[in-house]
Amino acid sequence: MASKTFYINRRNFIKGATASMVLSSFGAYGIELMNSEKPIRVGLIGAGWYGKSDLFRLIQVANVNVVSICEVDQRLLAEAAELVSQRQRSGKKPRLYSDYRKMLAEKDLDIVLIGSPDHWHALQGIEAMKSGANVYLQKPISVDVMEGEALVAAARKYNRTVQIGTQRKSTPHLIDAKKRVVDAGLLGKISHVEMCCYFHMRANGNPPLQAVPEYLDYDMWTGPAPLRPYDGLPHKRWWRTFMEYGNGIMGDMCVHMFDTVRWMLDLGWPERITSTGGIYVQKEGKSNIADTQTAVFEYEDLNCVWQHRSWGTPADPEYPWSFKLFGEKGTLSGSTMQADFVPHGEGEPIHFDVLYEKEKYPEDVTEKDIELNAAPATRLHMLDFLAAIDKGTLPIADVEQGHISTASCILANMAMEVDRPLIYDSSKLIIANDPEATALLQRPYRAPWEHPHPDQFKI
């Protein structure tokens, strides 16, 4: 494995009042990272929307040599190769693969970024760690609980740094809000949290069956998931609307907000999880994820309640995808775009705005499909990842924390399915007193793919 000594470009550090707080929160580690002329050797698996976005953010903050890219859609693969050659310092195009196993067999990568659909995260993450690479893995980390347990066990066995793409913990205005409101005690005792997503993000079409295009290896795209009859490109929104490939809006959007709340309040595993919901309104399409769902993650003297609807209007138009911390002394609302503290009684309201870096990174403005509000957070997330590798410490979004947030959302879906509360025993890897629900902790895999289990990686 190549050297862990990385060169971080000093121009990439945020300036200003909020930025100073952020850099202090992160220990200003990036400025003094080892100056090595040897670039970080990087590979990308999954060159769709967010895979490329994550890679471009890494290129912006580090001396990177993108060695290889893997993608089963030849059009996306060619596009990514061209864009990378324009972005990276060497100007070279990376090696191209359609099978991630062949890419990882080269064992020549320091870091592997994984931006494939959710049903691939566990197998690809584990194989990347086995190859000697540290991993930046998109959320949710798994589609079932045992996959997540296996990822954590593999990371510990192979001593790899794994950063999960829950970058709200690296979002400048949310870091500021945590420090100035939550950590400062302005909320007092917090005994209720509400989280939500009211985006109309559930693809609800009914496209006809069609021939698989020549540029797509659909069998490899499907991998361990059930092989559905092909009815259109399985990219971006369409695959997210099927439980075969993910965990619905709960697994896609709640995982971000629940992870943020756990970080804000220093919470571990929920003591009990309940959930109700289903397809209540959008019944006409092929999509099989819930369009309406409520879940409760219970802690001692605290309930964290999630709700999503992919129809209708948001409860609070200013915070359509957000969390709200209710304390005895006030309320903190937070989203990717802003945060607001409203005191109960004495005290002054505090508003926190999203930070953009359009002037510093003009390429952000012209990048296709970029989430401009998330770009600064992802850059800081990458810097935290690199610092953790260099120092041998856990990153802020370590795989174990990603697993707790992901698995809790999966367990909420399971609770909705079996229609009863679930208590997960993470030490025994079972649902307490519920053999039927315990059997749902591991999905069946399509042959010849084999499901990973944490026992494989015992130290």
Domains in the chain, CATH or no CATH each: 10-169+371-398 (3.40.50.720), 170-206+217-355+403-457 (3.30.360.10)
Contact between 311 and 200 under an 8 Å Cβ cutoff? The reply is yes
98: DSSP letter: S
Mean pLDDT of all residues in 255-282:
98
Mean pLDDT of all residues in 174-194:
98
- Report which secondary-structure segment, H or E, holds 241: none
> What is the pLDDT of the chain when averaged over all its residues?
92
Mean pLDDT of all residues in 433-455:
98
Mean pLDDT of all residues in 84-110:
96
Instruction: Report which of 289, 295, 308 is spatially closest to residue 243, judged by C-alpha positions.
Output: 289
Q: Is the pLDDT of residue 192 over 80?
A: yes
For residue 335, list its beta bridge partners. 322
216: DSSP letter: B
Confidence band, pLDDT 50/70/90 cuts, at residue 22: low
Percentage of the chain with pLDDT > 70? Answer: 92
Q: pTM of the full predicted structure? A: 0.93
Confidence band, pLDDT 50/70/90 cuts, at residue 31: very low
**Range picked from 26-35, 273-282, 363-372 for highest mean pLDDT:** 273-282
295: DSSP letter: E
Say which range, 167-176, 232-241, 308-317, has the weakest mean pLDDT.
Answer: 232-241
| pLDDT for 234 | 77
Which positions ≥6 away from 428 have C-beta within 8 Å?
none
Q: Which amino acid is at 112?
A: V
Contact between 126 and 405 under an 8 Å Cβ cutoff? The reply is no
| pLDDT for 333 | 98
323: DSSP letter: E
Contact between 254 and 295 under an 8 Å Cβ cutoff? The reply is yes
Q: Which residue has the tokens 């079932």?
A: 144
Percentage of the chain with pLDDT > 90? Answer: 86
- The C-alpha atoms of residue 181 and residue 187 are separated, in whole angstroms, by 7
